Structure 1
Amino acid sequence: MFSSTILSLPFLVTLSSAIVQSPVQGPLKGFNYNPQDDAATLFPLVQSSLPKIGASGFTSARLYTALDPNNTTNPVPHPAFKVAGDTNTSVLIGLAVSLGDASFQNELTALTAILKDKSGTYGKLLSRNLIVGISVGNEDFYRQSLQGTPMAANQGAGSKSAVIIKQINAVRKLLSQQSPSLATKIPVGHSDTWRMWTNKDYGLQLLKAQPDQDDFAPIDFVGMQEFTYWEGYAIQNFTAYSTEALAAVKAAAGNIPVWATETGWPVKGPKCCNGPPADSGMPGQLAWPGKEEAQIYWKGVGCDTLFGGEGGGTGAEVRNTWWYRIFASTAKSGDGAQDWDVLGSAKSGDGGATAAFDLDCKAVAPSAPTPTAVKSSSKSAGSVLRVEVWWSVVPLLVVGVLGAVERLFV
């Protein structure tokens, strides 16, 4: 079990005297990568091929774990870290924290190896100034709030805020023990859904001053995860991202930076869900997947807001952003992960990448399309109408014909 001992006051003052700033110059643009993704192909492809299809400047990667999932005997770092160093890709290191104390200790062991790497075995990320920050956990509050709901076996049951705070302190202690100390060099935070950051029992606990931590908040950044699609907002209402979700998290976070650690729109998949929340003030429409919808979201939320207004938007927030997602290398990359791919294909070499939709931030977004199912239902309704009209006309035709025949014999 990781230590829950209260850290010494001098140590906490050192950690919390100010919000730790990332050593990597931002704002950063990148993508989320699942443990099974092929970083050796994707990292160089993103940097070399994406600019050729209209999306430049994506030089960062967010990883959900520090551990190599293919090495079950030793807790060693994921091979993606070596690729990151070789391709000058900055990383937001994620630690899986809801799988038990032994698993969390393994995460710390792998993190230590990354921090101490001098030979380049794991990319020499520290000396190359490529560590953006450390996210202690991913949607652990969200999963905890869904207790009793079946979750994937590799996600854990979530965690309460007190546990996450102890784990954050354990990471800070590890950083302070390095020589020289990294306590003020690498920001530490947590990533969760936007509603959890406004919940008094979860995210707000990480945002308020802690009496045993010299009255400083435990985190240096807020990792905000928001998919307006999963909330049932039609694509026409993509502005709910900034007007509702981001606005609420910023208000809760105060002077703590808010990073967009996950957002996106699927190009295929099911409709969702029952329309937007009743108190949102948005029209009661369903969210539909599609390439046109994904492009509208990329343009409106990505280009015109999070990436810094490259498309000419006036409401740019300009913040570190990791989009969900670039390309699911295998079916194991996550349930339905391929439905969210920004790329249509991803192969090494020039011309190997094709975009699932137009990624050029200077391009004009298409008009919101009519959902496919609506088109289909309209077509079906039209067919039914034509049949009904036809059958209503048939009796009249029959009567007319009989009448004409009758007159011939009169």
Structure 2
Amino acid sequence: MKLTSTIAAGAALAAGVSAGQNNYLGFNSGATLPDESAKFEKDFLAEFTTAQKLPGAPGTFNAVRLYTNIQAYSTNTPIEAFSAAIKTKTKILLGVWASGTTNINNELAALSAAVKQYGSDFTDLIIGISIGSEDLYRDSATGRTNKAGVGNGPDEILSFINAYKKEFANTALSSVPVGHVDTWDAWVNGTNKEVLDAVDWIGVDEYPFYETGKGNKIDNAGKLFNSAYQTTLGVANGKPVWVTETGWPLTGPSWDEAVPSVENAKSYWDQVGCEILFNKVPTFWYNLRDSNPANTVKFGVNQKLDGTPSFNLTCPAVSKSTSSSITKPTATGKGSTPSTLVTAPSQTGQSGANNAGSAKGADSSSDSSASKTSSSPASTSSHSAGSINKVSGAAFAGVALVAGIFATLF
């Protein structure tokens, strides 16, 4: 994409942003490793410390988005990401796995235990909580067609939101903003309006890579992303819209016109991350490292956690004339309905990268690319518009979870 079109996307996005939020920078993190074994504190520590010291990064990536509160392969033990976050002062976007279940009792029990165990050292790091991840997408006709895995409908998600609020009404978490994460086309679906009305903020997962039939080559990625984001802002009724998953794969098979490569991943980082999102909108990139072996496309910015990124993370210099043409957002993620919406890509397929997070653990976005079949809190990310068959990490984790933990409720 030419710089001018990227700038236009940045300006359009800025028009829907206002004050009141911090512009968090972070990655997604699931509960399991590539071999499906559980992550423990040392694994999360390695991720969080690496993220905070990435050379050339446009800021400090000191926030993490989780898919579940439950330690992998346990029933309701708090995930060890919590203690790692405390030790590294990493901000936490909590996640509650909400698919394939009729209640979130174990998720709430794990979170309650963590609050009791860690106190304010833990609660002071919490920036929000997402009740569910792409559940509405997976439960939709498109999700079922794409075999995205088990989801949940708006009535169930609403009941889970109310259950969380009731459980933590008189605690240190009572003022934590409550949201839900889904694909852009799930948010614009009128049948899900009750969920939109019930949340304090909206999380959107958007992958132009999967925008089948929309000219999804890398040069068009910024335009496709902005189109979907602006469409989400248009239905947000002024609520903050956080970007909870986005990225471009480094390796793997092509998807329509989209080609994975290190060069294209860098271009997407520059077009979407640098020009539109970083330090303007709360952003959780997909991903620091991949954790889903079933996914054939790989996104890891630093897969080995050795401090050497897959590509140069330094953002391009912006000329004075360029910077002056972009409206500077005064805040981060709060979207006032844009006066003019960019035409959004039609809902043709997969909506986000399956973000699942179940007891086994959500392997957050590392597998947000192809066939989504997640039904547990593993790592997931959906691709909003292109039709996809991505097996999200979360979904993958969920499958394994089913063997033991899912029944208690990737």
Q: Give the TM-score normalised by structure 2.
A: 0.66
Q: Give the aligned partner of residue 355 of structure 1.
A: 309
* Alignment of 1:206 onto 2:168: no
Q: Give the aligned partner of residue 384 of structure 1.
A: none
Counterparts in 2 of 1:150 and 1:264: CA distance versus 1, 3 Å: closer
Mapped to 1, the partners of 2:229 and 2:154 lie a distance apart of 21
Query: Which of 262, 269, 276 matches 1:305?
Result: 276
Q: Give the aligned partner of residue 93 of structure 2.
A: 92
Helix, strand or coil at the partner of 2:275: helix
Q: Give the aligned partner of residue 287 of structure 2.
A: 325
* Alignment of 1:159 onto 2:159: no
* Alignment of 1:341 onto 2:300: yes
Shift of 1:101: 2.8
Q: Give the aligned partner of residue 115 of structure 2.
A: 115
Q: Give the aligned partner of residue 289 of structure 1.
A: 260
Mapped to 2, the partners of 1:336 and 1:168 lie a distance apart of 30
Maintained 8 Å contact 1:194/1:245 = yes
Maintained 8 Å contact 2:94/2:128 = yes
Mapped to 1, the partners of 2:189 and 2:297 lie a distance apart of 31
Maintained 8 Å contact 1:115/1:125 = yes
Could you give the per-residue CA deviations for residues 342-367 of structure 1, whole angstroms, max 9, x where no partner exists? 11531xxxxx3211111111368xxx
Helix, strand or coil at the partner of 1:355: coil
Q: Give the aligned partner of residue 169 of structure 2.
A: 176
Query: Which of 254, 264, 268 matches 1:271?
Result: 254
Helix, strand or coil at the partner of 1:97: coil
Mapped to 1, the partners of 2:317 and 2:57 lie a distance apart of 9
Helix, strand or coil at the partner of 1:58: coil
Mapped to 2, the partners of 1:238 and 1:148 lie a distance apart of 26
Q: Give the aligned partner of residue 368 of structure 1.
A: none
Mapped to 1, the partners of 2:317 and 2:301 lie a distance apart of 16
Query: Which of 193, 196, 208 matches 2:186?
Result: 196
Mapped to 2, the partners of 1:263 and 1:59 lie a distance apart of 17
> Larger relative CO (CA 8 A, sep 6+): 1 or 2?
2
Unaligned runs of 5+ in 1: 1-20, 208-216, 274-285, 309-317, 347-351, 365-410
Maintained 8 Å contact 1:226/1:241 = no
Shift of 1:252: 0.4
Maintained 8 Å contact 1:91/1:131 = yes
Query: Which of 95, 109, 121 matches 1:124?
Result: 121
Shift of 1:336: 2.1
Counterparts in 2 of 1:195 and 1:31: CA distance versus 1, 3 Å: same
Q: Give the aligned partner of residue 378 of structure 1.
A: none
**Higher-Rg member (1/2):** 1
Mapped to 1, the partners of 2:263 and 2:105 lie a distance apart of 44
Helix, strand or coil at the partner of 1:229: helix
Helix, strand or coil at the partner of 1:44: helix
* Alignment of 1:257 onto 2:240: yes
Mapped to 1, the partners of 2:281 and 2:181 lie a distance apart of 15
- Code of the residue aligned with 1:142 in structure 2: it is Y
Counterparts in 2 of 1:358 and 1:118: CA distance versus 1, 3 Å: closer
Q: Give the aligned partner of residue 42 of structure 1.
A: 47
Counterparts in 2 of 1:197 and 1:108: CA distance versus 1, 3 Å: same
Shift of 1:115: 2.5
Counterparts in 2 of 1:334 and 1:319: CA distance versus 1, 3 Å: farther
Could you give the per-residue CA deviations for residues 29-53 of structure 1, whole angstroms, max 9, x where no partner exists? 00001111431211112113x1x34
- Code of the residue aligned with 2:162 in structure 1: it is N
Mapped to 2, the partners of 1:31 and 1:363 lie a distance apart of 24
Helix, strand or coil at the partner of 2:27: strand
Mapped to 1, the partners of 2:248 and 2:96 lie a distance apart of 25
Mapped to 2, the partners of 1:78 and 1:337 lie a distance apart of 27
Mapped to 2, the partners of 1:296 and 1:230 lie a distance apart of 16
Maintained 8 Å contact 1:344/1:353 = no
- Code of the residue aligned with 2:78 in structure 1: it is P
Mapped to 1, the partners of 2:268 and 2:316 lie a distance apart of 14
Mapped to 1, the partners of 2:273 and 2:94 lie a distance apart of 22
- Code of the residue aligned with 1:247 in structure 2: it is Q
Counterparts in 2 of 1:337 and 1:54: CA distance versus 1, 3 Å: farther
Shift of 1:337: 7.4
Maintained 8 Å contact 1:343/1:354 = yes
Could you give the per-residue CA deviations for residues 184-234 of structure 1, whole angstroms, max 9, x where no partner exists? x200010000111101112x3323xxxxxxxxx210000011000011311
Q: Give the aligned partner of residue 227 of structure 1.
A: 207
Maintained 8 Å contact 2:182/2:205 = yes
Maintained 8 Å contact 2:253/2:297 = no
Mapped to 2, the partners of 1:358 and 1:147 lie a distance apart of 35
Counterparts in 2 of 1:118 and 1:33: CA distance versus 1, 3 Å: closer
Q: Give the TM-score normalised by structure 1.
A: 0.66
Mapped to 1, the partners of 2:299 and 2:264 lie a distance apart of 12
- Code of the residue aligned with 2:151 in structure 1: it is G
Query: Percent of aligned positions with the same letter in both sequences?
Result: 35
Helix, strand or coil at the partner of 1:353: coil
Counterparts in 2 of 1:307 and 1:148: CA distance versus 1, 3 Å: closer
Mapped to 2, the partners of 1:293 and 1:186 lie a distance apart of 37
- Code of the residue aligned with 1:70 in structure 2: it is Y
Maintained 8 Å contact 1:34/1:334 = no
Counterparts in 2 of 1:205 and 1:240: CA distance versus 1, 3 Å: farther
Q: Which runs of 4+ in 1 moved over 6 A?
A: none
